[in-house]
Every structure is written in structure tokens, then in C-alpha cells.
Structure 1
Amino acid sequence: MAKPTIFSRYIPGSAARLLCSALAVLLILSGIIALILYLIYHPSHPHFTVLSAAIFRLTSSSSPTPATAISTSFQFTISIRNPNHRSTIQYDGLCIYVSYRDQPITPPSSLPSIYQESDGTVTVSPVIGGEAVPVSAEVESALMTEEAYGVVPLRLVISGRVKYRPGPFRSGWVNVFVKCDVLVGYRKGVSGQVPLLGQNECDVDT
């Protein structure tokens, strides 16, 4: 024999079934509303694109210590687009450096904090480099060879944190990591603007 439930003790059977049905419908509606709000306000990753590059120095360091080092000076123009129509984005603690064959060839440089409106675009043009950076002998040799060839593959790396504000909601800070692989047309002795070869969209991970 079925044991009476708390509903059957105090509520007639038909009323208990009606209450259970109402609660089930309420839960389903709440889930549907939550899903709709998520689809409407869920923010997408920002889009980073390298628009132009300038190389003012890219040479082996003449300093005897460290024995193998690269001395550089770059300037990249980067477009940061917020594709969200209902969400603003705040960027903080952004740091940028250039690497070659997975080895940094510039010291990290800081970027200012950025507040971006929904569906907005911000352009930054940081100057990166200055100090000599130690690298392996293989990296130095490969870089000099590709300079002589006239095409140099570089990776621009940006890291920091972002905060989204979709409509009435607000997220916490989340880490962002951006990798921009670019091919530049460059030969030793050239200084200034250099051509970008191929697509220059960046991979964004948060």
C-alpha cells in the first residue's frame, strides 16, 4: 500500500496533482526564460586583427652578454572589435610581446585599460621592443636567414583579462589570451612600415 505523501495528508489528491503540475510548468518556463536570456545576452569573444606593422630594428645584439640575443623595435596597429550588440567589454592588465619560433624576442609591454561599447571597435598602436632579449643560437640563425630571404613569420601575443557587461548582467574578470601569427615582408637594413602577407586575424581564447 502506497505511503501517503505530505501533499495527500493536507491537500486532496486532485489539488495535489494540480499543484505538482503547476510547479513542473513553472520550472519549465523558468528554464526556457533562462535559456532565452542566455542566448540574447551571452557575449562573444572580441575579434583582434593586425592592420599594419613597422620594424625599426631587428638585429643580433652586439653586446657580449648574453652571448646570443636579439635587439628589436616594432610597432603594430591592432584593431579590437566587440561583435556583441548588447554587451560592453572592459579590458585590463593587457600585456603584449613578439615571439619567433615560440621564443620571445621582445620584452613584454603594457597596454592601457580599454572600455569598449557594444558593437564598437578600438585601435591600438603599441611600440614593442627596446631591450636585447636572449635567444637560442638556432633562433638567431633562423631569423637572420629569413631576413635574408625577405619573409619573416612572427607571432604577436596579448594576454590580460576582460569583463563583459551584457545588458543588466555583469560577468567577473576572465583571462584572455590572443595569438596573432603574421608574415611580414622584411629584409635586413629596412626600417619603417613593412608589408603584411596573408590573413592577419588572431586566435582569441578566454
Structure 2
Amino acid sequence: MGGLRSLVFAILVLLLIIGIIWLVLYIVYRPSDPTLAVTSAAVLALYNATPTTATTTTTSGSGPTLLAASFQFTLVLRNPSARSTVRYDRLTAYAAYRGEPLTPPATLPPLTQDAGTAVFVSPVLGGGGAVPVSNDAAAALAADVGYGVVPMRVVLLGRVKFLSGPFHGRWHSLYGRCDMLVGVRNNQQGGGGVAQAPLLGNPVCDVDT
């Protein structure tokens, strides 16, 4: 009976030691979520592309407005973890205004990011055709362009995996978004488009994994 108790006690001590080791390794190698930032923006095109013959129909509210939009943003993905490598896959990005997409999703290449490093990507969003938006959003966007300041959001979707020493995590969904104010001015040379202008203030970005 005493031998059985000693064996059980030894097993419990061993399990406790294994648990402590696992906890220490987890604390040391625990990854941090990547961060996202926008450092520059360019408005390459932004104008109403609704056919003239459909103007009466769309303004009456029975159909959407077609917008031709093209932007280029410099996005910075940072890996704040000191010991974790991050892999990104199935990345897409698009620009939105008032919750409505202004561009179709653009595919970005897969990325691998070492611990404590930053990756810069500058995708061109849009430019492949007009996108339908509600008439209310189109009218508000036209007013903001006329005022010279457009509130926009860049959305980054995909999946992410963390490689931390002995821990190889599974794929997690990635949802990043940056809200910003983009300064625009009328482009007198380009058929109703707008020219490049700076970011106003600091974009606010969040990442969920």
C-alpha cells in the first residue's frame, strides 16, 4: 500500500513539473498579435462612372451608383513578438467608405515575418472596374470630396499562424482595419478624378486574430 502511494505521489510530482515547464515555455514563447499601420495613401481615381443614360434612374433611388475608384496605400505589418515567427496567407485588402466597399478585394502574396520585424506592402486597390454603392453613400462621398477630406477604411483579411519555439499554432482568421482621413483635391487634368493628397492625422488601426 505504501509503495502504491509513493508511485501516485511520484506521478503527481512529475505531472506538476511538466505543467510548470509547459507554463514557463508558454509565457516565454507566447506570441503577440501583429499590428497594422498605414503610412501613406494615394487616390489614383475616384469618380462617378454611372452611364449617363442611367442618371435619372439611379438618382431616383431605384438603382445603385457606380463608382470607379483606385487607391494605393502603404501598409505596415509589425510582429511585436520577440520569439515568434508569423505566417500570413490568403491575404486580401479593399477600401471602404461608410461601411460600403469602394474597391473589390485585391489579393496579396503570402508573407513570413520573423520576430520583431516589420513588413511593408503597397497594394493598388481598385482600378479594375466600377463598383456599385448606394446613392446615399455616393452623395456623401461627393460632398466629402468637394470639402477635400474623405473618411476611409482599409480592410485586410486573411489568416495567420504563429510559430513560437516548440509551439506551432494552427491557422487563425485575421481581420485588420485602419480608419483614416484622406485629404483630396479636384484633379483638373483627369476627367473628374482626384489627385494624390496626404493622410490627415494618425490612422487608427486594429487587428483581430
Q: Name the TM-score, length of structure 1 as normaliser.
A: 0.87
Partner of residue 38 from structure 2, selected from 43, 50, 56: 50
SS of residue matched to 2:39: strand
Contact 2:185/2:195 (8 A) holds in 1: no
Aligned residues: 193
Partner of residue 105 from structure 2, selected from 104, 108, 115: 108
Matched residue, 1:21 = 9
Contact 1:58/1:188 (8 A) holds in 2: no
Partner of residue 118 from structure 1, selected from 85, 105, 115: 115
Q: Name the TM-score, length of structure 2 as normaliser.
A: 0.86
Contact 1:54/1:75 (8 A) holds in 2: yes
Contact 1:91/1:160 (8 A) holds in 2: yes
Task: Give the deviation of 1:63 after TM superposition.
Answer: 2.6
Distance 1:96 1:27 in 2: 46
Matched residue, 1:85 = 82
Aligned Cα root-mean-square deviation (Å): 1.6
32-41 or 71-80: which moved more?
32-41
Equivalent residues in 2 for 1:164-203, closer than 5 Å:
164-189=162-187, 190-192=194-196, 194-203=197-206
Task: Give the deviation of 1:85 after TM superposition.
Answer: 1.3
Consecutive unaligned residues in structure 2, runs of 5 or more: 55-62, 188-193
Q: Residues 67 and 165 (structure 1 numbering): CA distance in 2 closer, same or farther, change over 3 Å?
A: closer
Task: Give the deviation of 1:78 after TM superposition.
Answer: 0.8
SS of residue matched to 1:198: strand
Consecutive unaligned residues in structure 1, runs of 5 or more: 1-11
Matched, 1:33 2:21: yes
Distance 2:171 2:44 in 1: 36
Task: Give the deviation of 1:168 after TM superposition.
Answer: 2.8
Please state which structure has a larger fraction of its residues in strand: 2
63-72 or 51-60: which moved more?
63-72
Task: Give the deviation of 1:19 after TM superposition.
Answer: 2.4
Aligned structure 1 segments of 4 or more residues deviating by more than 3 angstroms: 64-67
> Larger Cα Rg: Structure 1 or Structure 2?
1
Task: Give the deviation of 1:67 after TM superposition.
Answer: 5.1
Percent identity of equivalent pairs: 47
Matched residue, 1:135 = 133
